[in-house]
């Protein structure tokens, strides 16, 4: 039975990858951080009581900032494959916490690779590094492919650039099977609530159900190549099943703007929107309501506004990936379109909003975080 070790197992990708590998018959080990409250919501459904014999999903406390902890876990598990998905993954937050972001995202990658080397696992353990389209930043070529030069635009992207190159360097220096997946944005109902797609689907669902009145966003012109996380974790595994390690761009090859994603999400909830105004004065007004999901809004309501608080010190305006290499060499093609993904996300958030609305209408105090 193959063994995999996943850092970031409690995150969006980690949870889908753990499911995927369990289905493939792997024994899956994940590193979770100590937190003051439970942080395993995304993997609770695959949790296996460690007292049960032959449990194939095991969690270890750990942190990418702690070398000795990583070495100890790696020694205990002896993984065939390591998926380094753990990161401070929020671009805007990286401007607020640049040093921590560098420690986790850049040095954390080095610590894992050093653990492989320290334990003499160079020929045993394959290594996947969660690289990112943010490396392209100020884009030098459209669309972006494996050979497009990098120009990172945030402390997050700069840290990930170190991680990218240290993975390449350990491949070249020590013969470690190390691969970079240069993944463009990918989303799902499990996406963190402060990334823009989830912020939009959750905000629209709450507004539709009368729980919130307005969604505040930053740069609505930003263009992204959005895919579904399920399609992308499949490719993470495929990259480690080749004879030789290589780096791959994973993307859909299509892009839309944040504004278009808002329109698509609202439509899914039964709300027709019209945008007007420019820059910080841009707003979206309800022009029509259909179906029974959007009882909380009426024609003329302004439900989206711009808040400059969400502008970034340096923005990545446009990203569009070229996944030709992944398609030709590995036969990978994304199966879920952005429309299908958006629909799945809005419906999941509507389900949650309806539960909240029901509690509220029954006299319970309902509160939730908004960012
Ligand atoms: P998430 O933010 O959902 O998950 C990040 C994971 O990393 C969480 O499990 C988190 O733990 C963990 N983590 C954070 N800090 C540490 C630390 N110090 N030590 C150990 N673990 C830590 O990210 P995604 O699942 O979306 O992304 C997975 C990886 O892929 C990340 O590295 C991200 O940068 C990269 N990536 C993501 C893309 C995307 O569009 N989703 C695109 C390209 C790259 P906790 O749950 O406790 O917070
Ligand atoms: P990104 O994702 O920075 O591309 O990084 P995010 O969803 O945060 O932003 C996408 C674009 O939307 C604009 N935007 C807003 N973003 C957020 N978060 N909140 C807002 O209110 C808002 N309004 C507009 C942003 O300015 C940006 O242009 C994600 C992360 O998953 C990274 O870890 C990963 O490496 C990259 O995708 C690929």
pLDDT in tens, 351-362: 999 999 999 999
Q: Nearest CA to 9 among 18, 21, 19, 20? A: 18
Strand partners, 272: 288
pLDDT 10s digits, 217-232 = 999 999 999 999 999 9
Q: What's the whole-model pTM score? A: 0.98
Residue ranges and CATH numbers for the domains of the chain are 3-183 (3.40.50.720), 196-223+257-317+337-361 (3.90.25.10)
pLDDT 10s digits, 106-144 = 999 999 999 999 999 999 999 999 999 999 999 999 999
Distance of CA 133 from the midpoint of ligand 1 (Å): 15
Q: Nearest CA to 101 among 82, 87, 118? A: 87
Distance of CA 244 from the midpoint of ligand 2 (Å): 33
Q: Which long-range contacts (CB under 8 A, 24 or more apart) does 46-51 make?
A: 46/15, 46/18, 46/19, 46/22
Proximal ligand: closest to the CA of 64: 1
Give the pLDDT score at 192.
Answer: 98
What is the percent of the chain with per-residue pLDDT over 90, rounded to a whole number?
96
Catalytic residue, from 156, 164, 177, 232: name it.
156
Say yes or no: CB of residue 91 within 6 Å of ligand 2. yes
Proximal ligand: closest to the CA of 321: 2
Residues 6 or more apart from 207 whose CB is under 8 A from it? 213, 214, 215, 296, 297, 303
CA 295 to mean position of chain CA atoms: 31
Parallel, antiparallel, or unpaired: how do β-strands 256-257 and 223-224 relate? antiparallel
Predicted complex ipTM exceeds 0.90 = yes
Distance of CA 289 from the midpoint of ligand 1 (Å): 37
* Whether residue 132 lies in the annotated active site: yes
- CA–CA separation, 237 and 259 (whole Å): 33
Going by pLDDT thresholds of 50, 70 and 90, the confidence category of residue 50 is: confident
pLDDT 10s digits, 224-253 = 999 999 999 999 999 999 999 999 999 999
* Whether residue 197 lies in the annotated active site: no
Residue 284 has pLDDT above 90, yes or no: yes
Give the largest Cα separation in the chain, rounded. 66
pLDDT 10s digits, 174-194 = 999 999 999 999 999 999 999
Q: Which atom of ligand 2 sits closest to the CA of residue 216? A: 21
Q: Nearest CA to 136 among 313, 325, 321? A: 321
Element (H, E) at 76: helix 67-77
- CA–CA separation, 29 and 48 (whole Å): 11
Query: In this structure, what DSSP letter does residue 242 have?
Result: S
Residue 48 has pLDDT above 90, yes or no: no
Residues 39-57 have a mean pLDDT of 90
Say yes or no: CB of residue 95 within 6 Å of ligand 2. no
Say yes or no: CB of residue 255 within 6 Å of ligand 2. no
Give the pLDDT score at 196.
Answer: 98
Catalytic residue, from 19, 27, 81, 134: name it.
134
Its sign, for the CA torsion 130, 131, 137, 140, is negative
Query: In this structure, what DSSP letter does residue 53 have?
Result: T
Parallel, antiparallel, or unpaired: how do β-strands 302-306 and 283-289 relate? antiparallel
* Number of other CB atoms surrounding residue 90 within 10 Å: 16
Give the pLDDT score at 279.
Answer: 95
* Number of other CB atoms surrounding residue 299 within 10 Å: 11
Query: In this structure, what DSSP letter does residue 150 have?
Result: P
Nearest CA to ligand 2 atom 9: 196
Catalytic residue, from 7, 109, 125, 132: name it.
132
Distance of CA 7 from the midpoint of ligand 1 (Å): 8
Distance of CA 202 from the midpoint of ligand 2 (Å): 15
Residue 347 has pLDDT above 90, yes or no: yes
Going by pLDDT thresholds of 50, 70 and 90, the confidence category of residue 323 is: very high
* Whether residue 134 lies in the annotated active site: yes
């Amino acid at each position: 039975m193959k063994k995999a070790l996943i850092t970031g197992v409690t995150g969006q990708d980690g949870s889908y990858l753990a499911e995927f590998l369990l289905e493939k018959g792997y024994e899956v080990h994940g590193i979770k951080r100590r937190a003051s409250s439970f942080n395993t919501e995304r993997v609770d459904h695959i949790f296996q009581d460690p007292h049960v014999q032959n449990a194939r999903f095991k969690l270890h406390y750990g942190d990418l900032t702690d070398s000795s902890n990583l070495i100890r876990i790696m020694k205990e598990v002896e993984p065939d494959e390591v998926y380094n998905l753990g990161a401070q993954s929020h671009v805007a937050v990286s401007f607020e916490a640049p040093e921590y972001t560098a420690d986790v995202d850049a040095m954390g990658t080095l610590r894992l690779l050093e653990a492989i080397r320290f334990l003499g696992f160079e020929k045993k353990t394959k290594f996947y590094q969660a690289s990112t389209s943010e490396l392209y930043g100020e884009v030098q070529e459209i669309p972006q492919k494996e050979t497009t030069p990098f120009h990172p635009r945030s402390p997050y992207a700069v840290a990930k650039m170190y991680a990218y190159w240290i993975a390449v360097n350990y491949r070249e220096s020590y013969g470690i099977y190390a691969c970079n997946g240069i993944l463009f944005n990918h989303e799902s109902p499990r996406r963190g609530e402060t990334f823009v797609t989830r912020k939009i689907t959750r905000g629209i669902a709450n507004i539709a159900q009368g729980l919130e009145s307005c969604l505040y966003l930053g740069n609505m012109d930003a263009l992204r190549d959005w895919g579904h996380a399920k399609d992308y974790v499949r490719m993470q595994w495929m990259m480690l099943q080749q004879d030789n390690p290589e780096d791959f761009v994973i993307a859909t090859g299509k892009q839309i703007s944040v504004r278009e994603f808002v329109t698509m999400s609202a439509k899914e909830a039964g709300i027709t929107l019209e945008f007007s105004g420019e820059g910080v004065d841009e707003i979206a007004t309800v022009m029509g309501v259909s179906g029974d999901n959007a009882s909380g809004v009426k024609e003329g309501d302004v439900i989206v506004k711009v808040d400059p608080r969400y502008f970034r010190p340096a923005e990545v305006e446009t990203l569009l990936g070229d996944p030709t290499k992944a398609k030709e060499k590995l036969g990978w093609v994304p199966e879920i379109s952005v429309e299908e993904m958006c629909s799945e996300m809005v419906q999941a958030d509507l389900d949650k909003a309806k539960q909240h609305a029901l509690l509220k209408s029954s006299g319970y105090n309902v509160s939730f975080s908004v960012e």
